[in-house]
């Protein structure tokens, strides 16, 4: 039996994950939730969903009504409530741009750069973890780190991680 999954998020990474899993015989992508706003970046996630004939949702609660086994949160822009998390059979897995969840919430690359210079801590990364009621504190699945350079900006570091 195929696992029913959804992808919520934005940017190229969400598109890459969708394109990676879409042909798997083990999953059915039941829908996606792209950003309802225009960011400063060119976001193609909605178009990628539409090009692959995957239903596009503009409300997380409506998407969660689809009895989903796993949700992948990739560059999602807001906190997910406990009631919503509990509606997903296996859980919601998040990719958060912070090594071992050192920086919580948004703008983690900016904080990493500021603290690299202030505290002489020149590493940052990404963490794959389950979402729970607390912001960016769920059980860690894996984490990866990279070096912050003097030339890095929030955007270049975001692209690295």
Q: How far apart are CA 113 and CA 149, in angstroms?
A: 9
Q: Please state which of the four CATH numbers 3.40.50.720, 3.40.50.170, 1.10.1240.10, 3.40.50.300 is assigned to the domain occupying 3-96.
A: 3.40.50.170
pLDDT at residue 45, rounded to an integer: 94
pLDDT at residue 32, rounded to an integer: 97
* Cα radius of gyration (the chain): 16
CA 69 to chain centre: 17
Strand order in the sheet with 140-147: 27-33, 3-9, 70-74, 91-96, 123-130, 140-147
Residue 86 has pLDDT above 90, yes or no: yes
Residue 123 has pLDDT above 90, yes or no: yes
pLDDT at residue 17, rounded to an integer: 94
pTM of the model: 0.90
Tens of pLDDT, residues 5-60: 999 999 899 999 999 999 899 999 999 999 887 776 678 999 999 999 999 999 99
Residue 155 has pLDDT above 70, yes or no: yes
pLDDT at residue 81, rounded to an integer: 94
When comparing pLDDT for 88 and 136, which is higher?
88
pLDDT at residue 40, rounded to an integer: 64
Every domain of the chain and the residues it spans: 3-96
Confidence of residue 106 (pLDDT cuts 50, 70, 90): confident
């Amino acid at each position: 039996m195929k696992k029913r999954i959804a992808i919520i998020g934005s940017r190229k990474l969400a598109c890459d994950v969708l394109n990676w899993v879409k042909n798997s015989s083990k999953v059915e992508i039941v829908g996606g939730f792209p950003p309802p706003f225009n960011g400063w970046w060119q976001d193609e996630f909605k178009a990628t969903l539409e090009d692959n004939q995957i239903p596009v949702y503009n409300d997380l609660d409506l998407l969660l009504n689809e009895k989903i086994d796993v949700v992948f949160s990739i560059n999602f822009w807001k906190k997910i409530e406990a009631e919503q998390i509990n509606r997903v059979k296996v859980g919601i897995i998040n990719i958060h741009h912070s090594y071992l969840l050192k920086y919580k919430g948004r703008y983690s690359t900016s904080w990493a750069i500021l603290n690299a210079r202030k505290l002489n801590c020149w590493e940052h990364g990404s963490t794959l973890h389950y979402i729970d009621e607390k912001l960016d504190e769920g059980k860690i699945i894996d984490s990866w780190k990279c070096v912050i350079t003097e030339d890095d900006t929030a955007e270049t570091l975001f692209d690295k991680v």
